[in-house]
Structure 1
Amino acid sequence: MYKGYLIDLDGTIYRGQEPILAGKNFVDELKRRNLPFLFVTNNTTRSPETVAHRLKHEFDIDVAPETVYTATLATIDFMRADKAGNKVFVIGEAGLIDLILAAGFVWEEENPDYVVVGLDNNVTYEKFVLATLAIQKGATFIGTNPDKNIPTERGLLPGAGSLISLVETATQTKPIFIGKPEAIIMDKALEKIGLAKEDVIMVGDNYETDICSGLNNGIDTLLVLSGFTKKSEVPNLPKAPTFVLDSLDEWDFGDLKK
């Protein structure tokens, strides 16, 4: 049996504003069994506190902010370890900008040490201009996550990866990606949950990010077909997930690891 669970949010526990009942049932069962879990999300638009508040008041899932590890927190951890400077320019929303500044980094638009690009629902051409010029001057280019799309009740909307691709094209510079499926966020998540990779399973709806974050880093995976990756795509996936389910309600917590 798995000792802990790393879980995606959007497309797995909810879909935009729409609750996924099986997601709530899954978390409730983890809590009932006292199994440790950590929501590992590429979403940088909200702080862990805001995510926990939303889960409770919109989806009736009562969890502590400490159970949420975002690509924002992983980005901060990366920049602290990298130690290339403390000046930063960010394309993103409050969940990204406020936490980076609260961590001690200083806002700088012309000559930053880092340019961080995440999802920004209010992005402007001028923000792209500032990011492009700063990277051309030598700033380290960080992409919070490569998600091309976000699953919502409206459909698949442009994700952070789409914005990052624009800056990459304009600068001809590849970003350092932090979020899933990169090792950076997964290694930090394992530290936070306090378990070895062979004792946890990564649960998510997106093969390209959630599942590949497990496949690429030696962690078992559970693909749930409630969001990004469609059932018709499963037979042609490059490498099979450990488990594939139509719904998290089908998960047997007594399953032995394969």
Structure 2
Amino acid sequence: MSRWTYLTDMDGVLVHEEHLVPGADEFLAELRANDTPFLVLTNNSIYTPRDLRARLLRTGLDVPEERIWTSALATAKFLHSQRPGGSAFVIGEAGLTTALHEAGYVLTDRDPDYVVLGETRTYSFTAITRAIRLIEAGAKFIATNPDATGPSLEGSLPATGSIAALIERATGRQPYFVGKPNPLMMRSALRSLGAHSEGTIMIGDRMDTDVHSGIEAGLQTILVLTGISTKESAERYPYRPTLVLDSIADLVGRTQDPFGDGAVLT
């Protein structure tokens, strides 16, 4: 059994624009061969773990559903801990609504305990207006993640953080963001694995979410340069990852001792 537990982001680390990042399959195979505990994390709340497993399979990665942790699952677990059996008005897709249903929540647009905002490709002006009025009437405002934009083949898409800003501006109420960079998502992932922060590594491609939340949760952090952040942009942040690698492929053969001889520590 490896002494390390791994949390790894999905987009920009294992896959990039629906294509396998070279070496990602070997990296996951090595974790399984060494009985190393791991979870694949994503701020994307659109899909259920089953959906994401199917998506990853199409790229050539075989990740069991129970090894996938989303901001939707973290949000549902958080709300269950705050108000078990509560109610919510939800703007989002199946990943979020399914997670909330499985947590025992009732979804309603009549006097809900919470307005929960997630990601969708079809944001509705009518639904956003309803959310604003419910928050004004006293519903608590929760959002799955603060990402302002999401990727697509055509370019950036408005994401949860942008719509949250619109609702916040209209209501004067700030949302509570559950997903990265909130370390709550890391801690809920660790609890689901029965792991501890001092023996866990977070791998990500973004300084502002992955590395930030990893540091806040007390984890070791590895930045890979196959996604958003570059060596140059990483220098602008007041915090540093433990290790910077060109790609996840650079961890193959060293997952049990990633910070050993030859590692380029920052």
TM over 0.5: yes
Distance, in Å, in 2 between the alignment partners of 1:246 and 1:153 is: 23
SS of corresponding position for 2:195 = coil
Give 1:43's aligned amino acid. N
Distance, in Å, in 2 between the alignment partners of 1:23 and 1:158 is: 28
Distance, in Å, in 2 between the alignment partners of 1:152 and 1:193 is: 31
How many residue pairs were aligned? Answer: 257
Q: Does the Cα contact within 8 Å between 2:84 and 2:104 map onto a contact in 1?
A: no
Distance, in Å, in 2 between the alignment partners of 1:44 and 1:178 is: 11
Whether 1:68 and 2:71 are equivalent positions in the alignment is no
SS of corresponding position for 2:150 = strand
Instruction: Show the counterpart of 1:5.
Output: 6
The 3 A distance-change label for structure 1 pair 85 and 32 is closer
TM-score, structure 1 as length reference = 0.93
SS of corresponding position for 1:236 = coil
Structure 2 segments unaligned to the other structure (5+ residues): none
Deviation by residue 1:122-161 (Cα, 9 ceiling, x = unmatched):
1111111011111111111001011122244444433221
Whether 1:222 and 2:222 are equivalent positions in the alignment is yes
Deviation by residue 1:37-75 (Cα, 9 ceiling, x = unmatched):
11121111111111112212x111112111011111111
Give 1:207's aligned amino acid. M
1:17-36 → structure 2 map (5 Å cutoff)? 17-36=18-37
Identity score, percent:
37
Distance, in Å, in 2 between the alignment partners of 1:157 and 1:12 is: 20
SS of corresponding position for 2:77 = helix
Instruction: Show the counterpart of 1:106.
Output: 106
Instruction: Show the counterpart of 1:133.
Output: 133
Deviation by residue 1:210-238 (Cα, 9 ceiling, x = unmatched):
11111112111111111121232022222
Q: Does the Cα contact within 8 Å between 1:18 and 1:153 map onto a contact in 2?
A: no
Structure 1 segments unaligned to the other structure (5+ residues): none
Distance, in Å, in 2 between the alignment partners of 1:246 and 1:85 is: 45
Q: How far apart are residue 102 of structure 1 and its match?
A: 3.5
SS of corresponding position for 1:21 = coil
Give 1:161's aligned amino acid. G
Q: How far apart are residue 23 of structure 1 and its match?
A: 2.4
Instruction: Show the counterpart of 2:200.
Output: 200
**Range 94-103 or range 30-39, more displaced:** 94-103
Instruction: Show the counterpart of 2:49.
Output: 48
Distance, in Å, in 2 between the alignment partners of 1:76 and 1:38 is: 17
Deviation by residue 1:92-132 (Cα, 9 ceiling, x = unmatched):
11111133124321122142111000111011111110111
Distance, in Å, in 1 between the alignment partners of 2:245 and 2:152 is: 20
Instruction: Show the counterpart of 1:248.
Output: 248
Give 1:106's aligned amino acid. V
